[in-house]
Chain A
Amino acid sequence: MKVRATDFLEFDKSAGVYRVSPEQAVRDDVEKHYWKHVGLTILKDWRLYLMLVPMLFVFICWRYLPMYELLSCFKVQDDVIPVAQQNFAGFSYFKRLLVGGDSLSTDFWRALRNTFILSFYGLCFGFPIPIILALFFNEIRSNAARSVFQVLTYLPKFMSTVVMTSLVTMLVKQGSSISGMGIINQALVGLGLITQETGNAGLLNNPAFFRAIYQISGIWETAGYDSIVFFAAIIAISPTSYEAAQIDGADKWAQMRYVVLPSILSTIVIMLINRIGSLLNIGYEKVLLLYKTETYVTADVVSTFAYRNQSAAGIGLASASEMMNNVIGMILVIGANTIARKATNTSLY
C-alpha cells in the first residue's frame, strides 16, 4: 500500500503550512493511550475476561510451567537452585546425548530411532486401514447389518489403555509351570509361524515381536472408531456422482479413483495432519505398559528413555532428550500443515 502525505496531513490555508489532520490526531491519541484504552475496555467488560481466568490458570500452571521447567536442558544441573538462577550450560547435554559415545548416547539414538519407526509404521498401517474400513462399510446397504459391524469394530476403543494392554499381555503371555502360553501364541504355533519354544517364552519378552504387537493392537483398538469420520465423508457423496460415473463406463475401481477419493480428500488431509501432529508424541503410556527390559531394543522410545533415566542421568539430560523429540514433532506438524495448505488448500491450523 502506498502511503501519501495527505493520509495524515492537512493543508492549513490560513497559515500556509501542513498540519496533522484531525483524524490522525485521534489515531495518535489512541496509540499514545493504547494500554489505557485496553485497560478501560477490559474493565468495562470484566465479566468476559474473568471467564478466561480458570482456563488461563490451568494452562499456565500445568502446561506452560512444565515448558519452562524444560529449559533446564540448557542449565547446569543443581537441584537446590531454581531453574531461573542456574548457570547456562549451552548445548552440552545435547552434545552428550548426540555424540557422547557412551551407552547413554547409544540408548538415546536407539530410543529416537524406535520413536520414528513406531510412529512411521503407525502412519503406514494405522492410517489407511480406517479409510479402507469406511469404504467397506459403504458397501453394506442394509442399515441394521452395518450397525452391527460398526458397533463390533468400535468395541475395543472403549477399553482404557491399561485394560487393553492387560488383555494383550494375557493373550500373548509366556507359558509357566502352572499355566500355558497365551491363546495367540498357541494359534501361531499351530499355524507353524513360530516355534514351540518362542511361543512358550512369551511374545512380549521377545524384541522381534514388540513392533508387531504394538501396531496390531493399535489397529485393533482404533481402526473402527477412526473410520467414523471417513465414513461420514463417504456417505455425504451424492448418489448422482456415482450414476454419472457409471454412465461414463466407470467400473468400481474407476469410481473409487475419480468419485470417492476426490470427495474425501480434504477429510484425509485433515486427519493426516492430525496424525502427523501426534507422530512423535506416541503413547508413552502404552509403551510403558507393554515393554520390558528384554525388549528395550525395539520398544524404548524417547519419552520412556527420559522417564527411566531422569534420576540416574539427571534432569538436564532427560529434558534435553524430550526437548529434541518435541521440537522435531512441532516442526513436523507445522510442516505438514503448511504443505497441506499449499497443495490442497486444506489445513488444520
Chain B
Amino acid sequence: MKRKLEVSELIFKIISYTLLTAFALACLYPFVYAVSAAISGRAPVEHNEIVLFPMEIQFSAFAEMFNDNMFWNAYSNTLFITLYGTLWAMFTAILGGYALSKKRLLFRKAFNFFLVFTMWFSAGIVPQYLNYIATRDIMEGIGITDNKWLVVIAMGMAAMNIILLRNAFEGVPSEVEEAAIVDGASELQVMTKVHIPMSQSTIATVALFFAISRWNGYFWARQMISNTNEQPLQVFIRLKLEQFTDTEQIAGWNKPYATDSAIYALIVCSIVPILVIYPFIQKYFAKGTNVGGVKE
C-alpha cells in the first residue's frame, strides 16, 4: 500500500514541475524576445535570426523613441488620467461604500441592487458611445475642452470595487465606531478616523484596481480624445503599431534598426514601469482576488 502511494505522488510531482516550468517559460519568453528584438540590429531582425539572444546590438530604437516628444507627452497624459482618475474614483467609491455599509441607511437594499444590477447588465458599446459623446458636448459647452477630463470623470467606475470597500467597512467593529461617536466624532470624522485607517489594505487594493484600469484604458480614450496631444500611452502604442505594420507607410524605411525593433522598444517601455513597482504592489494584487460574495 505504502509503495503504490509514493508512486502516484511522485508521478504527479514530476508532471507538476515539468508543466509548470514549461508554462513559466512560455510566460517569460515573449518578454525576453521583445527585449532582444528591440536591441538587435536591422539585418538579424528582418531575416528572422533572433531566437533568444540579441544580435548586432544597437540602442538607436530606444534612443529615437526617447527623443520623440509625443512619446513623453503620451506618457504624461497617461499619468494624468491615472492619477486624477484614481483620485476621483476613490473619492466616489469610499463615500458610497461607507454609506452603504451603514445598517441604518434607508433603502439600503435598493441602493445595493442599483449597484449590482450594473454588473449584470450593461448598455453596450453603442448607447455608451452616444452617452459619452453627449457628455463631451456638455463638458465642452461649459468650457472644459481638454477631453482627458471626460475620461477622468465619466469612465472607469466599477460596482465591484465599491462592494469590496463596503464589505471592508462593514467589518469594522461597531464598538470602535460607537466609542468614537461617544467622544464626539462627527459622521465624517468617524469615516476618516475610524473606518479608513482600519480598512487600509482593502483601500490600497481597490485604488490599485482603479489605477490599473486607468493605466490600461484604451478604447474609450481613443474614441473620445480627438486631439493627438491629449492621447494616452495605450492609444499612442496602438497608432504606432498600425503605422509600422502598414507596408505602405514603412516603404522607405532607412533607419539603422528594423520597424519591428521600434514596436518592441515601445512595448518594453510601457511594461518596464509596471515591473519596477510590481514587487511593492504584488501583495495587494493577490489580496483583491480573494473576494467572497456580493450578497445583499
Contacts and interface: CB of A to CB of B under 8 A. Distances in A.
A251 B5 contact: yes
A322 B157 contact: no
Contact of B121 (A161, A246, A330, A348): A330
Contacts of A303: 124-125
Contacts, number: 264
Interface string A150-167: 011111101111110011
B99 A167 contact: no
Contacts of A310: 126, 129
B66 interface: no
A183 B48 contact: yes
A169 B20 contact: no
B50 to A, nearest CB: 8
B187 A48 contact: yes
Q: Is the interface of A mostly helix, strand, loop or mixed?
A: helix
A136 B16 contact: yes
B277 to A, nearest CB: 10
Contact of B98 (A51, A177, A229, A325): A51
Q: Is the interface of B mostly helix, strand, loop or mixed?
A: helix
22 contacts: A47-B186, A49-B105, A61-B135, A66-B128, A66-B131, A67-B123, A136-B20, A152-B27, A159-B271, A160-B218, A160-B234, A178-B258, A179-B258, A186-B48, A225-B285, A229-B289, A306-B125, A310-B126, A310-B129, A330-B120, A347-B293, A348-B293
A178 B25 CA distance: 30
A148 to B, nearest CB: 8
Interface in B228-246: 234-235, 237-238, 241, 245
A139 B34 CA distance: 31
Nearest to B118: A63
A169 B119 contact: no
Q: Which of A67, A179, A180, A229 has the most CB of B within 10 A?
A: A179
Contact of A52 (B12, B96, B121): B96
A153 B23 contact: yes
Interface string A239-259: 000000010011111000000
B257 to A, nearest CB: 11
A59 B127 contact: no
Nearest to A349: B294
B216 interface: yes
B203 to A, nearest CB: 16
A51 B96 contact: yes
Nearest to B93: A55
A169 B240 CA distance: 13
Given A52-B99, A162-B234, A349-B295, A251 B4 contact: yes
B26 interface: yes
Interface stretch (A22-30, A38-46, A108-116): A38-46
Given A54-B92, A136-B15, 10 more contacts: A52-B99, A59-B118, A70-B127, A162-B237, A166-B238, A166-B267, A178-B258, A251-B8, A252-B8, A322-B125
Interface of A: 38, 41-42, 45, 47-49, 51-52, 54-56, 58-59, 61-67, 69-70, 72, 133, 135-137, 139-140, 148-149, 151-156, 158-163, 166-167, 169-171, 173, 176-181, 183, 186, 220, 223-226, 228-229, 232, 246, 249-253, 270, 277, 281, 284-285, 288-289, 303, 306-307, 310, 315, 318-319, 322-323, 325-327, 329-330, 333-334, 347-349
Nearest to B154: A62
Contacts of A173: 245
B9 A252 contact: yes
Interface in B278-295: 278, 282, 285-286, 289-295
A89 B98 CA distance: 43
Contacts of B191: 51
Given A47-B188, A152-B27, A303-B124, A246 B5 contact: yes
Q: Which of A139, A326, A330 has the most CB of B within 10 A?
A: A139
Given A51-B96, A166-B238, A158 B126 contact: no
Interface in B124-169: 124-132, 135, 154-155, 157, 159, 162
Nearest to A325: B124
B182 interface: no
Q: Which of A140, A152, A161, A232 has the most CB of B within 10 A?
A: A152
B55 interface: no
Nearest to A38: B106
Nearest to B186: A47
A220 B28 CA distance: 10
A55 B95 contact: yes
B135 A180 contact: no
B46 interface: yes
B259 interface: yes
Contacts of A250: 5
A-B pairs, top 6 by smallest CB distance, nearest first, are: A55-B96, A322-B124, A66-B123, A180-B48, A160-B216, A69-B127
B274 interface: yes
Contacts of B84: none
A102 to B, nearest CB: 20
Contacts of A67: 121, 123, 127
B289 A63 contact: no
Given A45-B104, A179-B260, A224-B27, A66 B130 contact: yes
B33 A136 contact: no
Nearest to A233: B290
Contacts of A270: 291-293
Contacts of A277: 119-120
A262 to B, nearest CB: 18
